[in-house]
Each structure stands twice: as C-alpha cells, then as structure tokens.
Amino acid sequence: MSEKKDPPYFMYFPGNYRWSAAFINMMGSAAYGGSDIGELHKIGQLLKGKGAEDDDAWFDACVKVADGVRAYAEKFEAGGHRVSAAASYLRACNYYQMAERFRTPKDDKALAAFRTGVNCFQKHAKLSDVKIEVVEVPYDGKSLPAYFVHAQNPKVKRAPCVVFFDGLDVTKEIQFVRGVTDLIKRGISCLVMDGPGTGEAIRFRQMYLRHDYEVAGSACIDWLEKRDDVDAKKIGIVAISLGGYYSPRCAAMDHRYAACIAWGAQWDYHATWKKRVDAQFKTSLSVPGHHINWILGVDSLDKALKALEPYKLDGVMQKMRCPFLLVHGAEDEQIPLADAQKQFDACGSRDKTFRVYTAEEGGSQHCQRDYLTLVVADMWNWFEDKLARS
C-alpha cells in the first residue's frame, strides 16, 4: 500500500482544499492591504476543529472578524483619522466577501454581508489617497458595476489603462487587493470590473455568466474610449482563474485590445466541469459545486453542462493578434498544465509568452495564490513594457 504524499505546497487546513485556498488568498492579499495576520489568526482560531463542509462556521468566523475590523474603521473615521479608517475598511471588505463566497444559493444573510463589504470598500475609496471612481459601464442595455482606479504620476494626459475582469468566484473588490495599487504606480489606470456572473452583477442585477464574454469586454473599451484621460490605443486586459477564458476571448474577438494576460489558463471549460460532476465534486474546487448552477441561472447540473458547451477556446485563441502573456502554476489542481499548454500553443499572436511557476520558486498553486507578489510583479512589469514603454 503506497503512502499518500503531502501536497508540495502549504495548506492552512490540511485535507480541506476549499478552505485552504480561500485562507491563502486572504493571506496573500496582505501585501496590498487586504488582510492582517492577527485578524486572520482570529478566523483560524474560530474555525479550529470545524468540519470541512461546515460553511456556516466559515461564514460566521469571517463575518465576526469583519464586524470587528469595521468597528475599528468607524471609530477611526469618527475621530478624523482617515488613513487608519481607509485601511481598516479595505480589510473588512475582504473578510465580508470571503465569508460570503461559500453560501450558495445566496440567502439574505449572504447578500447582506456582501453588500456590507461593498459599502466598506466604497468608504475606503472615499478616504484613500488612491483616486478611485465608482462607475457604471453601459452594457447590453443595462450597466456593469466597476471601479476606475486612476494612474499615479502619469507621464502623459492620456494614460494607458488595463481592464481587470474577475473569474468564477472573484469580485472587483477582491481583485483590487490583488495588486491594483502596484499597477497604477506604473502610470497605468485600471478599470476593475464585476462582469456577468460575478460580484454585484450576479447578486443584485441577475446578470448571468455568458460564453460570448467579448460583449462585456468590448463595452469596456467603448466606455474607456470616451474618457479624456485614457489612451484608447493602449488598453490592455487581464482576468483571473476562469478569467483565463474571459480575457483571451475578449482580446481575440476585439482587436482594439493592445495586450492581454490570462492569469491562469483555461481551454475547455465544459470538459473541466464534466470531470468535476462525474467525480461528484470530490476534487479540488474553490467553491461548492452548485455554484455553477447559480451563476449560469439554471436549476440542474445537466442544464449547467449544456450551457457550458460553447465555453471553449479552440478556434478563439487562433484569432488573437495582440501581445499575450499566460501565467500558470505547475501544481495547479483546478486546471492542469496540459490545458495551459494547449491554450498557449493555439494562440495566434506572434508576441506570446508562457510563464510557469514551480513549487521550488513558489506560485505553483492556482493563480499563484501562494506567491502573489511575484506574479503581480511579473504581470505588471509586462504591462508596463507593452503599454507604458512601447
């Protein structure tokens, strides 16, 4: 009988992939103001001894700590200490949204926590020394919620800009603490989006996931082209996790995009979920399995799989012409490295780069959650070269 090997990376909750992934996501965001180790330890202590499927315990622990951090923020704000208040509101937002991510379908408690998180972020935006606009991007007769984060110290009146979409279970607020403040220091603005199927768009506007994501991607360029502080010829796009399908599709189908990063690969998303369903979700998943039904707006897994049939990049990647960077972890348990290689090989861009992070150097987990500062440096350096210095 062979001995079961430990995974080649750190797990905060051994044997519990989903909780560990979420916890490490929070840990990594500390570099960008999204968490504090003392507050995370409080969450960990509250979850000590809890079962792997006890998502109510996860929700309660994260919300309890978020409430405490928000109380500090309100106290600091009332005392006129905007710097401390802004920082605390940002961390509270992250904890509220990470609390809510496992509650599907969304009940009133989940939506209330999420809305409180959004409110905390918008208070952060008002108090922060980073210039953040709360905006609406016209889309399909409605609009998508977003934040326009201004470039710092731009060298030109019309700065380059990067559109930053989310993934399967990410939000624009969680994306913000994935390095946006480092991007703007390079003189590049950032439009941080809740696309169809994510964030406020799905929770409060019932905008479901769609395979033709370029409709949302092109809407962003249409909106940015009207701004007098954006260089319309230097708009890039990045998206994380399932966003490895979104951003390449947007850039391949709309050649106005000047550069594209897939932060985590995708190839055949229908096949990915077929394997998960066949395994009865006894596999590495960042969310409960029925999350896919909710974001697609269907009531069964059979219908979900049917809806996912067109979510394939073969025939799409070949149409890309702009510079392309694909980053992926060698030990990614959600999307195999073989899928990443297929995506890269199919890319029609002459200027394309494939960066694989190993366990030895760090960043080998899904979307480099185990070495966030390294992947952020690599990606934003690449955008700086392609958009700001070109």
Q: Are 379 and 240 in contact (CB under 8 A)?
A: no
**Is the pLDDT score of 172 beyond 80?**
yes
Q: Which of 56, 180, 79 is nearest to 121 (CA)?
A: 180
Q: Which residues contact 93 (CB under 8 A, 6 or more apart)?
A: 117, 118, 120, 121, 124, 173
Note the pTM of the prediction, 2 decimals. 0.96
* Residue 9's pLDDT band (cuts 50, 70, 90): low
Backbone angles phi and psi of 117, in degrees to 5: -60, -45
pLDDT of residue 285: 87
The string of pLDDT tens digits covering residues 283-320 is: 888 888 889 999 999 999 999 999 999 999 999 999 99
- Give residue 2's pLDDT: 43
Mean pLDDT of 104-119: 94
Cα dihedral 220, 190, 104, 52, rounded to 10, equals 150
Separation of alpha carbons 254 and 235, rounded Å: 11
The token pair that represents 367 in the structure block: 């979307």
Measured CA distances, 379 to 267, 316, 340 (Å) = 20, 22, 17
pLDDT, position 246: 98
Angle (deg, nearest 10), helices 55-78 and 108-127: 30
Give the mean pLDDT of 324-334: 96
Q: Which of 138, 187, 147 is nearest to 166 (CA)?
A: 147
In the chain, % of residues over pLDDT 70: 98
pLDDT above 80: residue 8: no
Using CA atoms in the order 121, 123, 126, 128, what is the torsion angle rounded to 10 degrees? Answer: -60
Longest dimension (CA), the chain: 67
Question: Please, are residues 69 and 77 in contact by the beta-carbon 8 Å criterion?
Answer: no
As a whole number, the mean pLDDT across the chain is: 95
Beta bridge partners of residue 144, listed in sequence order = 137
Predicted local confidence at residue 147, as pLDDT: 98
Rounded Cα–Cα distance for residues 213 and 217 (Å)? 6
Mean pLDDT of 28-34: 98
For 136-166, the pLDDT digits (tens) are 999 999 999 999 999 999 989 999 999 999 9
What digits encode the pLDDT tens for the residues 192-251?
999 999 999 999 999 999 999 999 999 999 999 999 999 999 999 999 999 999 999 999
Domains and CATH numbers, the chain: 17-129 (1.20.1440.110), 130-267+313-390 (3.40.50.1820)
Give the pLDDT confidence of 50-100 residue by residue, as tens digits: 877 799 999 999 999 999 999 999 999 999 999 999 999 999 999 999 999
DSSP one-letter string for 279-323: TTT-S--SS-TTHHHHHHT-SSHHHHHHHTTT-B-TTTGGG--S-
Task: Tell me the pLDDT band of 265, cut-offs 50, 70 and 90.
Answer: very high
The total of other beta-carbon atoms located within 10 Å of residue 252's CB is 25
Residue 308 token pair: 């996912």
Inter-residue contact 313 to 266 (CB < 8 Å): yes
Percent of the chain whose predicted confidence (pLDDT) is above 90: 90
Q: What is the mean pLDDT of residues 31-42?
A: 98
Does pLDDT of 4 surpass 60?
no
Mean pLDDT to the nearest integer, 352-372: 96
